[in-house]
Amino acid sequence: MRIDGERILAANGLMVRRGGVQVLDIPSLAIEQGKCLTLIGPNGAGKSTLLLALACLIKPSTGTLAFKGQRLASDHDLFAYRRRVAMVFQEPLLFDTTVFENIAAGLKLRKVKHAEVERRVREYAQQFGIMHLLQRSARKVSGGEAQRTSLARAFSTQPEIIFLDEPFSSLDPPTRDSLIEDLHRILHETQTTAVMATHDREEALRLSDDMAVMHTGSIVQIGSPEEIMNHPANDFVAAFIGMETVIPGMVSSSERGVLTVSASGRDILAVGEAAPGEEVCLCIRPENVTLSTAVADRTSARNVFAASILRIIPKGLYYKIEMDCGFFLVAYVTRQSLDDLSLHAAQMVTASFKATAVHVILK
């Protein structure tokens, strides 16, 4: 698996074993310079292990890394590489001193001149909005301010690659949103290559140029956010990235790229490539499902089903509607639509979706 473009870091045959158990298996991975790659997957998928291996903070059981085309083979190579990268963890690791001294720590280890230390600390404190905290004890700042300090410390060394391990997971939503926006801006302005591990789809979508979906220690799909979100490679990826409806079925006919799939006694039309008799999974994003209370509502959609509402679940800015159409189907509606349609559990509605909104995965 690789990303097209100029490589800054490449891994080949990367494997990690712990206690005799293989926890990471990456045949190949190339990271493009100046881009942000997010490693996304559930807890235990191997994201942090891969991140630590790429940062050379753990030694893989087998495999090689090449930085800008040069293989990292000797201890000298590894030491030089680690001075050109930075790591930010989920929990900020701050010294018991001022915010200024924490940001300056990496620069002083590199024996940067005093005037340059002063300049860079102030530059990145300004970038992350913590200029007013420079003389405050790092033990007396909030969680968001501590993570901003950690990020400023990492960026002040002007790394060629920054590795981020779930950097926002312990923050409250407003703090998290603000920090994601600042990080996105700074990555863009500095053109710093970034690799970030996260289990949060929203974080990945807001920051990624490319996404790698991980499962049980392997990368199961890699590509642009649009490709991952709309064309998942298998049912695991589909479920993880929010294709809340995944329906197994069998192709009964195929004509001019339009499939008729028999699923739970219903015929569903989908655009795709498969032969009659092949087993498939049909994936439908909830935002592509339209609801109506009319018995036979006019619609351009080719899939129209009577549905019974099973549950209505508040999800913040929208509501998740779970339905039984003979198969399980999920739709999202706004509060306004919920009120306008007077939706409630056990109500019968008409659910519709276009054949082009169905993603077909061969089993």
Chain segment 249-284, per-residue pLDDT in tens = 999 999 989 999 999 899 999 999 999 999 999 999
Least Cα distance to 35 among 157, 149, 196, 182 occurs for 196
- How many CB atoms lie under 10 A from the CB of residue 95? 11
Residue 348: phi and psi, rounded to 5, are -90, 135
- pLDDT at residue 170, rounded to an integer: 86
Cα→Cα distances 238→42, 106, 229, 244, 330, Å: 13, 41, 8, 8, 14
DSSP code, position 332: E
- pLDDT at residue 296, rounded to an integer: 57
Three-class HEC string of 236-260: HHHHHCCCCEEEEEEEEEEECCEEE
In CATH, the number for domain 243-362 is 2.40.50.100
Inform me whether the pLDDT recorded for 232 exceeds 60: yes
Q: Which residues contact 350 (CB under 8 A, 6 or more apart)?
A: 291, 292, 293, 294, 295, 296, 297, 304, 305, 306, 307
The average pLDDT across 43-50 equals: 94
- Which band of pLDDT confidence, cut at 50, 70 and 90, is reported for residue 4? very low
Share of the chain above pLDDT 70, in %: 97
> How does pLDDT run across 311-362, given as a tens digit for each residue?
999 998 899 999 999 999 999 999 999 999 999 999 999 999 999 999 999 9
Least Cα distance to 99 among 153, 176, 51 occurs for 153
DSSP reduced 3-state for 266: strand
Q: Where are the beta strands (DSSP E) in 224-338?
A: 245-255, 258-263, 266-271, 279-284, 290-292, 303-314, 319-324, 328-333
- pLDDT at residue 299, rounded to an integer: 62
Helix (H) / strand (E) element for 153: namely helix 143-156
> How does pLDDT run across 84-143, given as a tens digit for each residue?
999 999 999 899 999 999 999 999 999 999 999 999 999 999 999 999 999 999 999 999
- pLDDT at residue 53, rounded to an integer: 97
Contact 163, 87 (CB under 8 A): yes
CATH 3.40.50.2300 describes domain 7-239: no
Token pair belonging to 121: 């600390």
Cα→Cα distances 139→91, 152, 176, 273, Å: 13, 16, 20, 59
Identical fold for domains 7-239 and 243-362, yes or no, is no
What string of DSSP letters covers 175-213? HHHHHHHHHHHHHHHHT-EEEEEES-HHHHHHH-SEEEE
pTM: 0.88
Inform me whether the pLDDT recorded for 297 exceeds 90: no
DSSP code, position 271: E
- pLDDT at residue 2, rounded to an integer: 40
- How many CB atoms lie under 10 A from the CB of residue 93? 12
Burial 105-131 (b: 16+ CB within 10 A, else e): bbbeeeebeeeebeebbbebbebbebe
Q: To the nearest 10°, the Cα dihedral for 268, 271, 272, 277?
A: 30
The average pLDDT across 226-244 equals: 91
CA 27 to chain centre: 21
Delimit the domains of the chain by residue range: 7-239, 243-362
Q: Where are the beta strands (DSSP E) in the chain?
A: 7-18, 21-32, 36-40, 62-67, 70-71, 85-88, 161-165, 193-198, 210-215, 218-223, 245-255, 258-263, 266-271, 279-284, 290-292, 303-314, 319-324, 328-333, 348-353, 358-362
